[in-house]
Amino acid sequence: FDTRTGDVERITTKNGLPNDVVYGVLADNDGRLWMSTNKGIARYDRKTKAFRDFTVSDGLQSNEFNRYAYCKDAKGWLWFGGVNGFNYFDPHDLVEDSTAVPIRITSVYSMNKPVLFGDPGSPLSKPAYLSSGMTIPHSANMVSFSFATMEFGAPSLHRYMYKLEGFDPDWVDAGTNNSAAYTNLDPGMYTFRVRGDNRDGIWDTVGTSFRLEILPPWWRTGWLYALCALALGGMVLLYIRVQRRQKKFLERTVQERTAQLSTAKERAEKSEQVKQQFLANMSHEIRTPMNAIVGMSNALRRDAPTDPGTRERYVDAIANSSENLLGIVNEILDLSKIEAGRLEMEKVGFAPGKILEDVISVMQYRAKEKGLVLSSRVDDAVPEALIGDPTRLRQVLMNLVGNAIKFTEKGSVEVNMEVAATVSVGDAAAGEMIGLRCTVTDTGIGIAPDRLARVFDEFMQAESDHTRRFGGTGLGLTICQRLIDMQGGTIGVESEVGKGSAFIIKIPYALGVADVEIGRRSVGADDHPPLRNLRILLVEDNKLNVMVAQVELDNAIPDVRIDVAANGQLALDMLQANTYDLILMDVQMPVMDGYEATRAIRALPSIKALTPILAMTANVLQAEVQQCMDAGMDGFIPKPFKQEVLVGAIRKAVR
Ligand code: ADP
């Protein structure tokens, strides 16, 4: 109650009074009100309207006071009585405590467990209140602190504020709560700072601090980052290097390709010239026998010679020219096979002496025609049997002997077969090897020394008039050389103009057991019972080929019956209606080709599916032969064929 103004102010616990029951109220000389309650004494400043409580912790006899027990004496001292006696004091003595109280961190917790400095492996080297900080792993990153001001009168009344530098942006007002907790802290350096106030609300400005270092997990450690950075750097460097190398490589490739292109261009131009020369030679070579064939057959038709001698001469000319023509075509085919790398060498047993014998007997006729003596000699040291490719040996010998006869006008041609002095040793697995040397010596026109090396070149002849004078394509020796090369052998020539030449070949062969059959390749019908009374389906679209086959079959097989189908589809229809002992199948035909027809026949749901089928084709490349076999054919007769070959193949198929 303000006596001057008459104002009444109602003050309760809401305004800060410790208790609503007040026993005594005294005003001191400064106008402040002192009130005794059951919860100590409260001082009220009417100007600031602030309370300050005093309790047992300030030295009161008890927190409980009694009514009527209070007074103010003449000196201005105040007296209050309570349940344990009384307190009296000069209100002037009770000044504010302006000294701040120090604060200490009393304990540190990690993962809800106290961190004790004495524990083994403890991050604290001193008790928490003496420690300046600690370092803990990332796995222990849940941390809390307890702290206290170093004034023990009324601990529960002290207030605190704290801040974790590196985490809290501002100071946190903790009230009277004396702990702070942090969960899931990131790795890094932190400083925990805490301050407290004293009994009179004076804050300690310094406070205390605690350094907290949380180590990064291994995957965020510096060295790992460094390693990653290094790896990244390495990769970048590698990338740059690879790029550079690639660039260089590209540049080099471009250069190489450019160089290759220009040489390829030159080569193409050169090969174009060679091709032109080749075509010129070929057309000449082909036209020469063709001329004989066309001329002689015209003469035969026109004159119809009744004299058997004349007729035979005409027909012989036609036959010889045809053989010649076939030889040329075969040479070209051989060379193209060699060039394409499609020629495979056989490895079979054969008798080398027999091969030479065969070659001589075939060539004897031609030699005799020219009045030459053709002889051969096989050295005793030459083994009975060797392993290798007999066909190619025969081909080479035929070629050399053929040339020798061609380029010799009088005298002799002699072939010698012996074992080369130098034994060429092949791979160990092949067993014992010998070098077989054959020398073809003639007494012919000879070759000039400066032309010797060139005779093995494609389309090359020792003298430019040789084609005109002797015929020939200039391919024979090229083929010989390639064939011998492929077998690991050598070919050479010694010659003197006007005296003669000697061609020497040397080929390594493994020793083996002769398969005389292969050596001879004979298909003679003599040792077999004759074929008769066969029913044959001839599938062929070319009328002339049909004619040739019919004539040969009629001649070779008594009572043969031949049906002709012009394509695969017709053949299939005819096979459904009739039964045949054999089918001769052309490969390239309209409507349905030979491969397809064969597959269709093999798929028939009757016994007719097993009818033997022989391919008859002018396609003689190994791949095509294989294709015939794959389609289900039983054999292969290359066109043009000789009667013995045709009959031999039929005999084998119908057996
Ligand atoms: P072609 O005989 O078809 O012309 P070749 O390659 O077999 O082709 O021979 C090439 C050339 O080598 C012949 O044209 C000829 O000039 C020469 N030549 C080959 N063999 C003999 C030989 N025995 N005597 C003389 N010259 C030969």
Rounded to an integer, the average pLDDT of 121-143 is: 90
Give me the percent of the chain exceeding a pLDDT of 70.
Answer: 93
Q: Which residues contact 336 (CB under 8 A, 6 or more apart)?
A: none
404 lines ligand 1 (CB under 6 A): yes
24 lines ligand 1 (CB under 6 A): no
The single-letter code of the amino acid at 620 is V
Q: Which atom of ligand 1 is nearest to the CA of 503?
A: 23
pTM: 0.47
SS3 143: strand
Residue 588 CA, ligand 1 centroid: distance in Å: 37
The single-letter code of the amino acid at 414 is E
Choose between 320 and 131: higher pLDDT: 131
Residue 456 CA, ligand 1 centroid: distance in Å: 9
Residue 322 CA, ligand 1 centroid: distance in Å: 21
- Residue 462 pLDDT class (50, 70, 90 cuts): low
Rounded to an integer, the average pLDDT of 474-493 is: 90
Nearest Cα residue to atom 11 of ligand 1: 461
How far is the C-alpha of 523 from the C-alpha of 142, rounded, in Å? 102
How far is the C-alpha of 467 from the C-alpha of 407, rounded, in Å? 11
**Angle formed by the axes of helices 622-631 and 594-602, nearest 10°:** 30
445 lines ligand 1 (CB under 6 A): yes
Q: Is the pLDDT of residue 382 over 50?
A: yes
- Length of the chain as a residue count: 655
How far is the C-alpha of 557 from the C-alpha of 578, rounded, in Å? 20
Mutate to test the pocket of ligand 1, among 438, 440, 452, 466 (most ligand atoms within 8 A of CB): 466
How far is the C-alpha of 384 from the C-alpha of 454, rounded, in Å? 35
Q: Which atom of ligand 1 is nearest to the CA of 477?
A: 6
> Tell me, what's the pLDDT at 342?
72
477 lines ligand 1 (CB under 6 A): yes
> Tell me, what's the pLDDT at 341?
73
Residue 336 CA, ligand 1 centroid: distance in Å: 20
> Tell me, what's the pLDDT at 461?
67
Q: Which residues contact 418 (CB under 8 A, 6 or more apart)?
A: 378, 379, 381, 382, 436, 437
Distance from chain centroid for Cα 634:
41
Residue 441 CA, ligand 1 centroid: distance in Å: 13
Indicate the DSSP class of residue 227. Answer: H
> Tell me, what's the pLDDT at 421?
61
Structure tokens at 268: 């193409």
Indicate the DSSP class of residue 531. Answer: P
How far is the C-alpha of 435 from the C-alpha of 386, rounded, in Å? 10
